[in-house]
Chain A
Amino acid sequence: MGRRNAQAYAFLSPFLVFVTVLYIVPAIVTVAMAFTNLDSSFVWEFKGFDNFIRMFKDPNTLVIARNTVLFVGVTIVCVVLLDLFLAVVVTYFIQNQRVGEFFKAVLMIPMITPAVVYSVLWIWVLDASGSGLLNRIAAGLFGAAPHNWIALYPFPVVIIATVLTSMAYGTIVFSSAIKSIPENQFKAARVDGASEMSIVFSIILPNIRYHISFIALWEALGLLTDYVTILLITNGGPGIRSEVWALSAYHKAFVDQQYGFGAAISVVLIVVVMVLMLLIARASRRQNEGGALQ
């Protein structure tokens, strides 16, 4: 056993070193920092729960929490509904595989676009001057004066931009789930004279229900923690109108250099994320069991 152990750990050691030094140690450091008032001078001074008390007393916290819930909630509902609609259309109604694949590829374009380019695309579309795409279209159609769209509607803008990058993943997952539904279920329904609508609701949706809960949770996790799109398009502004929880941790730590306070904000989110992770692990186990049953 000794030799086998050595052999296995020889294969594992690079992985273990990397993950320990730059994943697990940072996790411990982040949690520890949350209880200090560490700033750019990097002097460790433990302050107990000061950061958390400060967080709950800050009137902005409530606004940011509400923004986060609204952002995650609205985006998930939009993404899951869109995913279901697109997956059914692309996989069930379009029988021609190659045509379906082509449309899926188009949906994936926003997902594969580097975040920096993607954000400029939106900034250009919504440009406040007359040269922005939307302003040109509005002027052409209604003769409207140019609007500063991002300043006027920061929240809808980040939601739409996020929905567009998120929708491809769920569509692909649902699409392959629909493909794996046994054909005889559809045949039986057609023999019974079921309409297409009832096939969608009584065969497709029940068959992929675990995939739906998996995607909803997976998106929730992503939306709670991935703030790059918002950072690059509105940077949380104007004011804090589109600031979300993860982005505020970034702002506090990396812009204001209040590392301790930023870490405390992250830790609150980490607790939420842990709960979500447990739910995801359960959902993906069910999804796999559901898949094995078919």
Chain B
Amino acid sequence: MKKSAAGTLHDRRRERNAILIMILVSIPILFIYLAFFRNAFLDSATGELTLGNFRFLTGEIRLSQYTVPPMGPAFRNSVVFTVVVTLCEVIISCMAGYALARLDFRGKKVIPFSLLALRLFPGMLLLIGVLYVLMTLKLVNSLQGVILAAIALRLPGSTFIIRNFFSAVPADIENSALVDGCNRLTAFFQVVIHMVKPGIASISLFSFMSAWSNYLLFNTLIFNSKTPVLATYIRVLSRNDQMIADYGVFAAMALIYMLPVLIFFFISQKQLMQGNIGGGKGI
């Protein structure tokens, strides 16, 4: 939808009013975030600018009576969790999406339909069952267990998205690769996979965002604090009266936690805005 390049005076005035409205909408959002994260750079006692709130990056810190455990293990677990979940999710959903879009097999009619149903179905309602299955497999209370659950619950959504990308690749391209002496596997890795790069970027982005922010799976599938991730680490601290009294350290931690998300957000805004944010929320 484009109007003629030279808008009338009336048009321009209307655009100016519209921008004014959007500024009024944006200011409270930006204000709350900036005001909160400003705490990270202020000394809570003196109110002066400081980087002292970031001391937790180098070691444990003491706040009057409470010692904040070091962030290291939680950070490491979060990184491992996010990387493994994103990688597995992308690889497995690419393989499945390719088969569903391209290959013939018995049962081909049933799977796409169930895929749509699974994609819409909110996996969060099944956490009780997931917990039981993990217990049976002796994987409960471990990072591996949560990783497996996270991958499984997000797979239908990302497979659904990537399948559409594979369907859009012209079959001729692949056929000519097959004629040129590739088999399915080499054709897949050497030719087809390059045609769906935007799709891969999009599912890895959503997978990264949801894995990095995931709180609920860790909260429900891990009972002790031996396997903290940033989400549960920060949550535990946020319920501690000592910490809440000292929003400075807390805001500094929240900022470190949010930094990767913000960076990804700025890199990949376009993808996020294409409106195919699939796979449901929360998990």
User: Please, how many angstroms separate the alpha-carbon atoms of A164 and B32 in the complex?
Assistant: 12
Point out residues on A near B: beta carbons under 8 Å. Answer: 1, 4-5, 7-9, 11-12, 14-16, 18-19, 21-23, 25-30, 33, 42, 86, 89-96, 99, 101, 103-110, 112-117, 119-121, 123-125, 127, 131, 133, 164, 169, 172-173, 175-176, 178-181, 183, 186, 196, 221-222, 224-228, 231-232, 246, 249-250, 253-254, 259, 262-263, 266, 269-270, 273, 277, 280-281
Chain B, interface SS category? helix
A30-B125, A121-B33, A263-B128 are known contacts. Are A8 and B95 too (CB-CB below 8 A)?
A: no
Partner of B15, one of A25, A95, A186, A259: A95
Partner of A15, one of B103, B155, B234, B265: B155
Can you name the residue of chain B whose Cβ is closest to the Cβ of A219? Answer: B281
User: Please, how many angstroms separate the alpha-carbon atoms of A281 and B113 in the complex?
Assistant: 11
B95 to chain A, nearest CB (A): 5
User: Please, how many angstroms separate the alpha-carbon atoms of A169 and B282 in the complex?
Assistant: 14
Identify 15 new A-B residue pairs, CB closer than 8 A, beyond the known A15-B155, A117-B234. Answer: A5-B106, A14-B95, A16-B96, A23-B153, A25-B129, A26-B130, A27-B129, A29-B128, A29-B129, A105-B265, A116-B257, A226-B281, A253-B128, A269-B125, A281-B120
Asked whether B156 lies within 8 Å of A94 as measured between CB atoms, the reply is no
User: Please, how many angstroms separate the alpha-carbon atoms of A164 and B212 in the complex?
Assistant: 20
Q: In the assembled complex, which residues on chain A have CB atoms less than 8 Å from the CB atom of B132?
A: 26, 29, 33, 42, 259
User: Please, how many angstroms separate the alpha-carbon atoms of A99 and B16 in the complex?
Assistant: 11
Q: In the assembled complex, which residues on chain B have CB atoms less than 8 Å from the CB atom of A115?
A: 213, 215, 231, 282
Q: In the assembled complex, which residues on chain A have CB atoms less than 8 Å from the CB atom of B18?
A: 89-90, 93-94
Asked whether B32 lies within 8 Å of A121 as measured between CB atoms, the reply is yes
B72 at the interface (CB under 8 A from A): no
Partner of A14, one of B35, B96, B238: B96
A12-B95, A12-B96 are known contacts. Are A23 and B123 too (CB-CB below 8 A)?
A: yes
Asked whether B209 lies within 8 Å of A273 as measured between CB atoms, the reply is no
B107 to chain A, nearest CB (A): 9
Can you name the residue of chain A whose Cβ is closest to the Cβ of B30? Answer: A106
A11-B96, A22-B148, A114-B213 are known contacts. Are A172 and B275 too (CB-CB below 8 A)?
A: yes
Asked whether A15 lies within 8 Å of B282 as measured between CB atoms, the reply is no
Q: In the assembled complex, which residues on chain A have CB atoms less than 8 Å from the CB atom of B122?
A: 221-222, 224-226, 273
A15-B159, A29-B133, A277-B120 are known contacts. Are A176 and B215 too (CB-CB below 8 A)?
A: no
B172 to chain A, nearest CB (A): 19
A5-B106, A30-B129, A93-B14 are known contacts. Are A22 and B261 too (CB-CB below 8 A)?
A: no
A8-B104, A196-B14, A221-B120 are known contacts. Are A266 and B125 too (CB-CB below 8 A)?
A: yes
B window 2-54: CB within 8 A of A: 2-3, 7, 11, 14-15, 17-19, 21-22, 25-26, 29-30, 32-33, 35-36
User: Please, how many angstroms separate the alpha-carbon atoms of A249 and B105 in the complex?
Assistant: 40
Q: In the assembled complex, which residues on chain A have CB atoms less than 8 Å from the CB atom of B14?
A: 93, 196
User: Please, how many angstroms separate the alpha-carbon atoms of A109 and B129 in the complex?
Assistant: 33
User: Please, how many angstroms separate the alpha-carbon atoms of A33 and B32 in the complex?
Assistant: 44
From B93, B152, B159, name the one whose CB has the most chain A CB atoms within 10 angstroms. Answer: B152
